[in-house]
Amino acid sequence: MTTADGSPLVPGTLCADRIVLITGAGRGIGHEHALQFAAQGAKVMVNDLGAGVDGSGADRSAAQLVADEINASGGTAQANTDDVSTWAGAQRAVASTIEAFGGLDVVANNAGILRDRMFVNMTEAEWDDVIAVHLKGSFAVTRHAVDYWRAQVKAGEVVQGRVIMTSSPSGLFGNVGQANYGAAKAALAGLTIILADELGRLGVTVNAIAPVALTRMTEGLPGFVDAAKKALEETGFNPFDPAHIAPLVVWLGSTASAAITGRVFTVMGGEIGVAEPWVKGPTMTSTEPWNPAAFTEQIPALVGQARGNSDMSGRTRT
């Protein structure tokens, strides 16, 4: 079994017999998740509707091709083509995984679409469709998985469930032209923290990644393709290869990651970072009612003491 660029995968047993549902696994980052989970011994349900980057159409062969690739290499996989942006579709995807493999251990919420547009021109449909796939889809699949895990706990079973959300630098740091996508991805980062607190009692950890990789969804962004080609030519290493994202997700899906929950990781190429959450910065206090007129001097001074917003690399803008 090889990655998308033909590099060999090193087999292992990190996820031996773990049962994994990956949404949007027909192409790109999700495809690499599927290959590398399987290489580490997991049984993989490859979910993908096979839609275009903008969410239109469907190619139900996309998921099957990945499942066939895994099975031909000695792994174990099945395909599922349900639309996880719907409550019923998400429920079927989870139920199909449990029926096919006898359980469920890991949910990797990866499905996504793009409808990039400057906010002043964005339509209601462009907003709703992106939110539906990224945010509602992640909610719905996770919600049905949690129903299964709760039932297992009530039956006296020990659960080692794992949920991996897919956020984005657009959601953590902001990106012009992606108000819908960035809002959904920021919400997923927040959802990760909340669910980690809520689901720990069930034996379920929840983490997120904010990946950077060259896929169908990013190949149209300025500079991505050129940067990948330049890096490959100069160093022989392509930091934008989506294969570099999966190892972290595979580890987060393993039992070895039990102590880590509620964290968002930035990941690309040869770099993995822990995204530090919102914190209370400089403050001012008063024992008297606030005078709005005084804010004209006070608020700019307060903001001046605070760290600035980050650029897309996660570093403070200068």
- DSSP assignment string, 172-237: HH--TTBHHHHHHHHHHHHHHHHHHHHHGGGTEEEEEEEE---STTTTTSTTHHHHHHHHHHHHS-
Burial class (CB in 10 A: 0-12, 13-18, 19+), 204: buried
Does residue 2 belong to any structural domain of this protein?
no
Does residue 141 belong to any structural domain of this protein?
yes
Does residue 14 belong to any structural domain of this protein?
no
Beta strands in the chain (DSSP E): 19-23, 43-47, 76-80, 106-108, 161-166, 204-211, 264-268, 271-275
Q: What's the pLDDT at 5?
A: 57
* DSSP-based three-state secondary structure for 25: coil
Does residue 317 belong to any structural domain of this protein?
no
Does residue 303 belong to any structural domain of this protein?
no
Residues annotated catalytic, as ranges: 168, 181, 185
Does residue 305 belong to any structural domain of this protein?
no
Q: Which pLDDT tens digit goes with each residue over 31-67?
A: 999 999 999 999 999 999 998 888 888 888 999 999 9
Count the domains in the chain: 1
Does residue 24 belong to any structural domain of this protein?
yes
Range of the domain at 156: 19-275
Does residue 304 belong to any structural domain of this protein?
no
pLDDT < 70: residue spans in the chain: 1-8, 214-225, 227-228, 231, 318
Q: What's the pLDDT at 270?
A: 87
CATH number (domain holding residue 134):
3.40.50.720
